[in-house]
């Protein structure tokens, strides 16, 4: 099977579905063009990877579908791989019966004896080394590292919603794939990206921008062009780019 997933969603499925919907495609049309069955494309968008034909097939299908939708196929497959490659957490321990408890107690006593013998042997070795060290001088102190490597945050989907305050035009670039369109007053469009998302408004006051649920209002000056690139900072929260 494709492997265990730790999160309810990893963002790959919603990104595929939104990319398809933004292009006005149905599952039947996508299946016809990619030569993948409709139920398999639906499973990819629902992240129901266990319903597919194994990990190798899932990766190949993700790459084909992402390329067809104009997404960065390498990033889509990498986002999937980071989750399926995580080890499954061990199951909770079951309640032990009397026999198991007795065996566990015996093992604990044996381990305690072993630790006592090992500690005594180590103490003897340290004493012997200490006596030898007196004749050879004091060794230099060990170097203790003072920095701890930081852990990079996991990639997350960047989602943006545009709400037209009046008629205007915009260009939205999702993971390097641009799309230019006109918007009528009251019209709403949504976008999602795995890496970066760039919004360009011909009139900076013509549309309200909502980024991952955060309302930025109409970010530009009326009558003036406005451009902003959204990425993720080290805290895995949306950050404003250039």
Mean pLDDT, all residues of the chain: 78
- When pLDDT is cut at 50, 70 and 90, the band that residue 238 belongs to is low
Mean pLDDT of 106-133: 66
Tell me whether residue 75 is in a domain.
yes
Q: Is residue 22 helix, strand or coil?
A: helix
Neighbours of 5 (CB within 10 A): 16
**Domain housing 77:** 12-84
Cα–Cα distance measured from residue 26 to residue 15, given in angstroms and rounded to the nearest whole number: 15
Contact 63, 73 (CB under 8 A): yes
pTM of the complete model = 0.40
Tell me whether residue 167 is in a domain.
yes
> Each residue of 88-116: pLDDT tens digit?
555 555 555 666 666 666 676 667 766 77
How much is the pLDDT for 241?
57
Tell me whether residue 184 is in a domain.
yes
Contact 236, 194 (CB under 8 A): no
> What is the count of structural domains for the chain?
2
Q: Where a domain ends, among 28, 55, 84? A: 84
Tell me whether residue 236 is in a domain.
yes
Tell me whether residue 144 is in a domain.
no
- The encoded tokens of residue 228 equal 């902003």
Q: Where a domain ends, among 63, 84, 105? A: 84
Cα–Cα distance measured from residue 176 to residue 5, given in angstroms and rounded to the nearest whole number: 28
How much is the pLDDT for 149?
40
Least confident interval from 10-24, 30-44, 85-99? 85-99
The closest of 24, 29, 67, 61 to 45, measured between CA atoms, is: 61
The closest of 164, 161, 220 to 191, measured between CA atoms, is: 161
The closest of 23, 24, 51, 50 to 37, measured between CA atoms, is: 51
Cα–Cα distance measured from residue 138 to residue 105, given in angstroms and rounded to the nearest whole number: 44
Tell me whether residue 166 is in a domain.
yes
> Each residue of 41-91: pLDDT tens digit?
999 999 988 888 788 999 999 999 999 999 999 999 999 888 776 545 555
């Amino acid at each position: 099977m494709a492997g265990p997933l730790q999160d309810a969603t990893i963002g790959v499925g919603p990104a595929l579905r939104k990319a398809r919907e933004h292009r006005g495609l149905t599952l039947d049309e996508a299946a016809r063009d990619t030569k993948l069955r409709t139920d398999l494309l639906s499973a990819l968008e629902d992240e129901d990877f266990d319903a597919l034909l194994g990990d190798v097939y899932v990766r190949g299908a993700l790459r084909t579908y992402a390329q067809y939708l104009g997404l960065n196929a390498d990033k889509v497959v990498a986002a999937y791989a980071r989750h399926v490659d995580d080890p499954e957490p061990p199951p909770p321990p079951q309640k032990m019966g009397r026999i198991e408890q007795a065996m566990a107690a015996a093992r604990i006593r044996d381990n305690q004896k072993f630790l006592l013998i090992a500690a005594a042997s180590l103490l003897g070795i340290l004493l012997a080394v200490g006596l030898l060290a007196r004749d050879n001088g004091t060794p230099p102190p060990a170097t203790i590292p003072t920095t701890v490597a930081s852990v990079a945050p996991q990639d997350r989907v960047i989602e943006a919603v545009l709400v037209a305050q009046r008629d205007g035009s915009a260009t939205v670039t999702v993971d390097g794939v641009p799309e230019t369109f006109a918007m009528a007053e009251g019209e709403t469009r949504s976008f999602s990206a795995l890496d970066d998302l760039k919004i360009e408004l011909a009139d900076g006051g013509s549309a309200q921008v909502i980024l991952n649920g955060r309302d930025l209002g109409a970010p530009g000056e009326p009558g003036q062009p406005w451009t902003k690139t959204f990425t993720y900072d080290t805290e895995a929260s949306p950050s404003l780019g250039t």
